[in-house]
Structure 1
Amino acid sequence: MSLAQLHYTSAPPGPDGSGFRFTAVTPGLPTSLLREAEQLIGYEPPRDAPPRPTDEQLAGFPRVFSHTLLSDGSRLLSRTVYTGADYSGRWGNFHAHAVHLPAGTRLPGDQLPITAWESARWTDRTPDGAEPGPLTALPPAGHFDRAGLVAFAELRAPWLAAFFADVRRAAETVDAPQIVLVERESADIARWIALASTALPRESAHQLTFTTYTRRPQLARQQIIGVLPDDGQGLTGYDQRYRLHDCTGRPPTEPVTDLWSETAALVWLGRAPELFKEVAGLPGESFDAGPLAVAALCSGIPLGSACRTAAIDWAGAHTGALAEDRLPRLIAALCSPADDRTAGESAALARLCAALDGRAPAATTAPLAALVLTEAVRTSSLELPALSPSAITTEYRRRLAAELATDLRDGIANGASDPTSALRLLGVAGTLGVDCADLLPDLARRLSGALLADPGKADAPAVRSALDNHFDLRVALLGKLDDLAAGDPPAAARLLARAGLALPDAQSLPHLRMCARMARTAADEDRVTALHLVIKDAGVPLFAEPLVLRTAMRLVWDSGTPAAGQAALLLGETGSDVHRAAGTFPTLVQAALDAPADDRHAPGLARDLLRCFPDELDSRTRGALLLLEFAGDLTEGSPGHGWAARAAALRAVAEPLEPTVLARAFNAVARRLLDTERPDGELSALTACRDGELLAAYAREARTDRVRDLLRTVPAYAADCFTCWSSHPGTDPTWDTTRNGLLDEVLRPVVRALPQADVASVEAALERLQGRWAEEFRQWNRPGALSRFARRLGGRGRRSGGAGPRWNDVQPPRKDGGPS
């Protein structure tokens, strides 16, 4: 197949005119293509070029060798040279010779475009006739021999990796920045392109566009643009559009993070460009650094830790792709001494060792296994894989056991702050046969504390491997966990739920068994039932092991307390002796004191606690329980006498008092004081106690619907409340405020709303009392009498005492109106 050609230069007048024009074109090339090509094949001499160069000077002018993608998807491979004077003697002529490659086609023989640099088939003049002669190939001229490119790469070593990184980006991304190369010779630009084309995957190399020289890089369309030093100025600072590599200036200092690019540079510097072709058939992505790094290591090319890690990861994922002769060389390279080996590389080595275990002869993998085991001991952070006994030879095992025994035992005993690190060392010791049995109890102690503090550590491979492979360690660990579970049962339950540790029948482990049972208990299970279940799973009687009860209660109620009814049931079922021995009676006490004010079980629980633990309760707690019991007595109807005084006295002993206990007791006192049955002297005791919170409870109870209903329906009760709330003025400012508020805000609205007959019944009840109560009630109830009556009462003093109606405990006023 003949390549379509075109020639362009300044020519004498002809059918197509004179001046610069196409002088020879293969028939069939469309006019639109010629117009587009005309913009790409021009030539502008260097800035410092002589105006009338000699033949020798002409030979030194830059060559424009371009590979350009056209708008229709086809490609143009062109060569343009400066020829000096044209047919008329005018200077500035050039000659362009180009071949057209339709979309989807390549040069004959799958030849890369850059290999046609300075091919002998390029011409500097127009052929005779209007049509070019047949052109079937552009054979290489031999300018890019292996030795020459290797030498050039060594000279440009500082720029190689960064250049390859930009070339990769250009091959992978359509809108990647253009690469501008600054060299003094266009031939060096061609060598750069040859380096890139050799390193790139074959398809990417065929698609790479370039030009070896232009005066105006801003107008160039190619991916790689070659310029002279003067023409590269002004492109810095436009990193989004251009990536400038000035090979005539200072070498770059920025590090390159692209591993493929770094490896490709090292392959060139290692004088092994044939490796690019060698790895082309290996599995992996186009720019995967792994296969190239493997080939480099096998060829003895030193790589950095990151590139070695890429090689290790690829080898571990493609063990079948490693030839039999390549694997030993790779392992030898990886096991060579390296000062820059990182933790990531060591972890990759461990993964590779596991991947090769059983797939490669032990004689081949033994050096790798030895390195991994040594790294695990020396770093204490390497996660070891599970290796079969055949992964390392007997010779290596003996040698490593002798070398690492001291470090292993020291690391397990006290060198590893994290117990999981000690477990890794224990795994190495097991592989090498180093005896560490005497170190297991202390390791179990440290590991148990770490697991309770962070149950997530149970998922660590080192922990699971150690528990699966070390029976003695497992037994010791479970024993330590059982001890710790007695102190923090919820943490142990969380650990068992997370880790799924099986509890052997041969060990008692009562606390752990309860924790395991609690982990299986439904969240909505009745708490007392759940307690019975976990105690049953403990497998020991409470009287033989009272701490089981404490563990069970902490499991069921975690950091909270049972309800008062539940606590009373527990106390009744187990008795006080077990709770005393287990130290759980404070939980029962707290259940009583924390019970809501309307919990009907709390007073009874308080009574039982006072009876069962007379010597264990401190004075404050005893006072609080007595007050709680007293509140129950007030509610149940057998409180004795001196309610307010007793409540105030118990409160003083029980401070600081739980708010619910105080509210329950004061509300009970207030309710009884406002009942229809009230012993003599109770109201006087209320006013005398001078307790603002008790008076506030009394005022709240007086404002309840119960009291208002009694005021409306029982005239004697309304009369009694009037006498109570009018008595003892001046005794205490808080009492004065309370009683005046009740007269004005509670009693007056009720009385004003009563029918006249009911008001008369109230007056009649007051008439039956001694003194002027009825008259004072009439004055109080008269419209507009509020302020005057309040001032009058405010100046009177009354003393309590004397018999009266069954619900009245106040002394009536004297008939002369004076104080009684």
Structure 2
Amino acid sequence: MSLAQLHYTSERPGPDGSGFRRTAVTPGVPESLLREAEQLIGYEPPPEAPDPTGTTGTTGTTGTTGTTGTTAAESAPLPTAFSHSVLADGSRLLARTVYTGAGHGGGPGNVRAHAHAVHVPVDAPLSAGATPISAWDSPQWALGAPEGGSPAPLAELPVARGFDRRDLVSFAADRAGCLAEFFAGLRVPDRQIILVERDSADVARWIALASTVLPRAAAHRLTFTTYTRRPRLARQRIVGVLPDDAQDLDRHDPRSLVLDRRGDGGAAPGPRPAHGTEPPAPDAWALTAARVWLGRAPELFAEAVELPGERFAAGPLAALALCTGISPGTHGRGEAALWACERAHTRALEAAGRLPRFLTGLCAPAEDRTPAETAALAGLFAALDGRVPAAVTAPLGALVLTEALRTPDAGIGLGVPRPASLPDDLRRRLAAELAGELRAGVAGSAGSAGSADGTDGADGDGPPVTRAVELLRLAEPLGVDCADLLPDLARRLSHALIADPERAWTPAVAAALEDHFDLRSALLSALDALAAADPPAAVRLLGLVPLSPRGVQTLPHLRMCARVHDSGIPVGGAAGDTDRVAAMNEVVRAAGVSTFADPLVLRTAVRLVWEGGTPSAGEARLLLAGTGSDAHRAAGTWSALMAAALDGPGDALREPPAGHRAAPSTPYAATASPAVSDTTSSDTTARYRADAPDLAHDLLRCFPQELSARQRGALLLLEFAGKLRERAADTGWTERALRLRAGAEPVEPAVLDTAFEALARGLLSEERPDGEVYALVHCGDPELLAAYDRAAREDRVRERLRTVPAHVADCFTMWSSLPGANPAWDRTRTALLATVLRPVVRALSAEDTEAVERCLRATASSRAEEFRAWKRPGALGRLGLRFGGRGRTEGGRP
């Protein structure tokens, strides 16, 4: 290896100005490299640089000239700028710049300095693989330029004894408060570390600490300078400054870490976390590295490199520290446990005979153990159980059990020791010690080993029930009997699962149900009862957790919910989505219990299929016919049938609840379009008006004792609508309809619309009883007249008027009768004559017009004359109708 030498010395001012002058260079060094080196080796003395005049100097300038020299003893009080830098071509420059005395002419800041540098080629190591900082006090460094101006290249740079172990250990102990932060800063790429020290030798000691903890390659590439007056302009990774030059540093700049021991000896505050964000997690490797140095065992860093693991992994280093008797703290112990979970890592410890010492170190008493560490210990025990002799792992198993009980948030998951993992005497001792706490925790007692954050359980009076399940699993390997606590635990767990399945279904709960048949049976029974109370919640639960009700238990309600989930039946789906009666029958069959044996099965089925709504009138008739009134009466579902009759077709137009639509591949997939069209609404209303009267008849017959007077009146009104539709009603239609409405007040809009529509259509028919129009006119009921107006405007009436002259004559007779009887009738009849009848009459042929007049003459000769006068255009026709028909009736049919 050939290391070129470079010498620079401050000279007196000349034609080119003042500054460092190249005084000796090994031949062959490129000019570009020399110019780059000149930017790195300048020396700016501190303000307290000695002044030949006897005064303290001020801030000096780089490169003053001079010719006088001093001894090393004279220059010792001022800092040494020892630097290691990477050049543009990847090669490195190792340089030492020292103060050599007062400059030519004296005066404040007028100093002399000498820089001696060696150029290290790319990838070339120093002597015997030494790190750059080991050359800090090499005897090769010169205080002046050699004679001749062309020094020969060095074969190697001899290193001195450097900082011995005792010196660095003492230095680390003195800087204990800053160690972890310093080591953590080394891990952040491109983050500059600024060290504020009064002695540049202490900066060199910091760098020596860094070179020890870093991997060998990283230590060789670490750039640094032990002294500069301008740290923000420095290109090196680690920069040393004097306290006076640290006044204006930004301590919160995330690009740099400032470690300042002034005052209390602690580090300067680091970057503040952004508002609303959590502080950064502790650096386990940095904390462990600090404890290793404080434990006086720096040799462990080299040993850790030989163990499997990633760069800067805390696990291997912490494991070695534990083997040596050094506690790496909770973060280090947790990382060591996680690292040792890997089989290859455990074998590395076993091969070196370190595993027993490692486990002993892990299990040593500690006051700072955290839930994360306990979880890591549980994972390690699970990994070692069965692979390592029980005598070796028994202390770890005992620690895991104890800490899992007393550390509620450990999240031990599945890492629970097997009974065979613990020697009998240890198991008996632990059972006697922990039985009371375990049983209290399983019982959910407030103040027991519950959640550290105080979160209430399902009943709001204790720790979460999932914690109780974890403790039940801990009780098993110790033989602590908790059988009497299982029913209440199952009850609390069932409520938690129904309320929030994703939160309550933890790995510990799943494992406990797999291991404890009695707990599983009690839980399923409790869930079956809750499914009867809230079937949709049970369907949601079964869709989120792998809990099957199939088995020897009779769980009718839970089985029905499972059937709904498995078959894709939409819970509360709209009427157009599926044959809901068939779906309900399928759900009832899945229960495995007759609705007569357990009427609540029928209630659950109805709630599953019609949750949040009601059956249509047609569906209600099928349900009543298929199941019988007794089952509906016992289940309380007869009220749903009543709602189907009285509430109208609203449910058929309702979208199913969010999240409950069936998948398109299921036999119950939705086929209706997302938007309900006007045609769909009209068709559904028509189906309701066709089915509701028959349903009302059935309900009056099946539930005479359950109906209130108002409900009975509404059903009678619907039943009467059916008789009107079938023309089976006795005379006195209008009077009876109004009387039934009065007994049903406040009557449902759907019921009233259905009854009045049937009555209005009957009144528009030629088969109506005599005197019904007279009753309509004189009742003056606005709702009935409005229904009559709507019915007269239906397409079916217009079509009949265009094709049946007798119907034209009948409507003319009705709508021209009794003018002035009351304002409501006048408004209705004149509107119908003008907007319904007149357009039809104008379009009639002469033959059809003559047929209309013949029909009118058959009732009364004056009717034909009034018709001819009315159909004449203009005001004369309107006046003829207005006065010609006054007081007339419809020829014997008032």
* Aligned twin of 2:287: 262
Equivalent residue in structure 1 for 2:99, among 82, 99, 116: 82
Aligned mates of 2:228, 2:87 — CA distance in 1: 18
Deviation (angstroms), 1:532 = 3.6
Deviation (angstroms), 1:457 = 5.3
* Aligned twin of 2:337: 312
Contact 2:84 2:92 in 1 (8 A): yes
Query: Deviations for 1:619-651, whole angstroms, at most 9, x for unmatched residues?
Result: 233233223322222223323333333333333
Contact 2:870 2:881 in 1 (8 A): no
Q: Which amino acid aligns with 1:212?
A: T
Alignment partner of 1:28 is 2:28 = yes
Aligned mates of 1:104, 1:311 — CA distance in 2: 34
Deviation (angstroms), 1:570 = 3.0
* Aligned twin of 1:567: 620
Q: SS at 1:475's partner residue? A: helix
* Aligned twin of 1:412: 442
Contact 2:475 2:481 in 1 (8 A): yes
Q: Which amino acid aligns with 2:179?
A: L
* Aligned twin of 2:691: 601
* Aligned twin of 2:134: 115
Deviation (angstroms), 1:507 = 2.9
Contact 1:598 1:664 in 2 (8 A): no
Go from structure 1 to structure 2 and tell me whether the alpha carbon gap of 1:508 and 1:677 turns closer, same or farther (over 3 Å shift): same
Equivalent residue in structure 2 for 1:285, among 305, 310, 314: 310
Matches within 5 A, 1:131-530: 131-169=150-188, 173=189, 176-236=190-250, 239-249=253-263, 251-252=266-267, 254=269, 257-317=282-342, 318-323=345-350, 325-384=353-412, 385-415=415-445, 416-456=462-502, 459-503=505-549, 505-523=551-569, 526-530=579-583
Q: Which amino acid aligns with 1:670?
A: A
Contact 1:25 1:130 in 2 (8 A): yes
Q: Which amino acid aligns with 1:351?
A: G
Aligned mates of 2:323, 2:818 — CA distance in 1: 108
Deviation (angstroms), 1:684 = 2.5
Query: Deviations for 1:469-516, whole angstroms, at most 9, x for unmatched residues?
Result: 112222222333333333333433443444444456543333333333
Aligned mates of 1:557, 1:19 — CA distance in 2: 94
* Aligned twin of 1:67: 84
Q: Which amino acid aligns with 1:159?
A: C
Aligned mates of 2:876, 2:801 — CA distance in 1: 19
* Aligned twin of 1:817: none
Contact 2:96 2:115 in 1 (8 A): yes
Aligned mates of 1:690, 1:356 — CA distance in 2: 93
Query: Deviations for 1:283-338, whole angstroms, at most 9, x for unmatched residues?
Result: 33212233333333443434443443333322334433434654444433443444
Aligned mates of 2:137, 2:466 — CA distance in 1: 66
Deviation (angstroms), 1:233 = 2.9
Alignment partner of 1:674 is 2:764 = yes
Q: SS at 2:341's partner residue? A: helix
Alignment partner of 1:696 is 2:749 = no
Aligned mates of 2:754, 2:208 — CA distance in 1: 95
| TM norm structure 2 | 0.82
* Aligned twin of 1:578: 631
Q: SS at 1:322's partner residue? A: helix
Go from structure 1 to structure 2 and tell me whether the alpha carbon gap of 1:478 and 1:640 turns closer, same or farther (over 3 Å shift): same
Deviation (angstroms), 1:240 = 4.6
Aligned mates of 1:681, 1:18 — CA distance in 2: 130
Go from structure 1 to structure 2 and tell me whether the alpha carbon gap of 1:445 and 1:11 turns closer, same or farther (over 3 Å shift): closer
RMSD (CA atoms): 3.3
Deviation (angstroms), 1:209 = 0.7
- Stretch moving more, 666-675 or 259-268: 259-268
Contact 2:416 2:474 in 1 (8 A): no
Contact 1:452 1:495 in 2 (8 A): yes
Deviation (angstroms), 1:119 = 0.6
* Aligned twin of 1:39: 39
Contact 1:184 1:248 in 2 (8 A): no
Deviation (angstroms), 1:115 = 0.7
Aligned mates of 2:731, 2:403 — CA distance in 1: 84
Q: SS at 1:73's partner residue? A: coil
Aligned mates of 1:18, 1:414 — CA distance in 2: 83
Deviation (angstroms), 1:120 = 0.8
| TM norm structure 1 | 0.89
Query: Deviations for 1:222-257, whole angstroms, at most 9, x for unmatched residues?
Result: 111212222223232671554332333453464773
Q: SS at 1:123's partner residue? A: coil
Go from structure 1 to structure 2 and tell me whether the alpha carbon gap of 1:46 and 1:698 turns closer, same or farther (over 3 Å shift): same
Aligned mates of 1:239, 1:485 — CA distance in 2: 59
Q: How many residues align?
A: 798
Contact 1:350 1:383 in 2 (8 A): no
Query: Deviations for 1:373-429, whole angstroms, at most 9, x for unmatched residues?
Result: 223333445444243223222222111111111222222224254322221121112
Aligned mates of 2:721, 2:539 — CA distance in 1: 39
* Aligned twin of 1:544: 597
Deviation (angstroms), 1:116 = 0.5
Go from structure 1 to structure 2 and tell me whether the alpha carbon gap of 1:574 and 1:138 turns closer, same or farther (over 3 Å shift): same
Q: Which amino acid aligns with 1:294?
A: A
Go from structure 1 to structure 2 and tell me whether the alpha carbon gap of 1:17 and 1:30 turns closer, same or farther (over 3 Å shift): farther
Q: Which amino acid aligns with 2:768?
A: R
Alignment partner of 1:706 is 2:759 = no
* Aligned twin of 1:814: none
Query: Deviations for 1:43-94, whole angstroms, at most 9, x for unmatched residues?
Result: 2222221233964432222111110111111110111122226899996332
Contact 2:816 2:881 in 1 (8 A): no
Aligned mates of 2:522, 2:196 — CA distance in 1: 71
Query: Deviations for 1:648-678, whole angstroms, at most 9, x for unmatched residues?
Result: 3333333444433333222222222222322
* Aligned twin of 1:816: none
Q: Which amino acid aligns with 1:215?
A: R
Where does structure 1 lack aligned partners over 5 or more consecutive residues? 811-820
Go from structure 1 to structure 2 and tell me whether the alpha carbon gap of 1:398 and 1:606 turns closer, same or farther (over 3 Å shift): same
* Aligned twin of 1:619: 709
- Stretch moving more, 519-528 or 784-793: 784-793
Query: Deviations for 1:101-155, whole angstroms, at most 9, x for unmatched residues?
Result: 1122221321110110011111112223343245233333234111111222222
Q: Quick one: percent identity of the two aligned structures? A: 60
Q: Which amino acid aligns with 1:544?
A: A
Alignment partner of 1:783 is 2:800 = no
* Aligned twin of 1:8: 8
Aligned mates of 1:786, 1:641 — CA distance in 2: 39
* Aligned twin of 1:659: 749
Deviation (angstroms), 1:725 = 2.2
Where does structure 2 lack aligned partners over 5 or more consecutive residues? 53-68, 271-279, 446-461, 570-576, 650-683
Go from structure 1 to structure 2 and tell me whether the alpha carbon gap of 1:61 and 1:252 turns closer, same or farther (over 3 Å shift): closer
Q: Which amino acid aligns with 2:32?
A: S
Contact 2:192 2:257 in 1 (8 A): yes
Aligned mates of 2:399, 2:888 — CA distance in 1: 100
Aligned mates of 1:381, 1:93 — CA distance in 2: 65
Go from structure 1 to structure 2 and tell me whether the alpha carbon gap of 1:321 and 1:244 turns closer, same or farther (over 3 Å shift): same
Contact 1:546 1:582 in 2 (8 A): yes
Contact 2:800 2:807 in 1 (8 A): yes
Q: Which amino acid aligns with 1:283?
A: P
Aligned mates of 2:255, 2:532 — CA distance in 1: 69
Deviation (angstroms), 1:760 = 4.7
Q: Which amino acid aligns with 1:335?
A: C
Query: Deviations for 1:319-364, whole angstroms, at most 9, x for unmatched residues?
Result: 3343465444443344344444333232222222222222322223
Q: Which amino acid aligns with 1:155?
A: D
Contact 2:466 2:504 in 1 (8 A): no
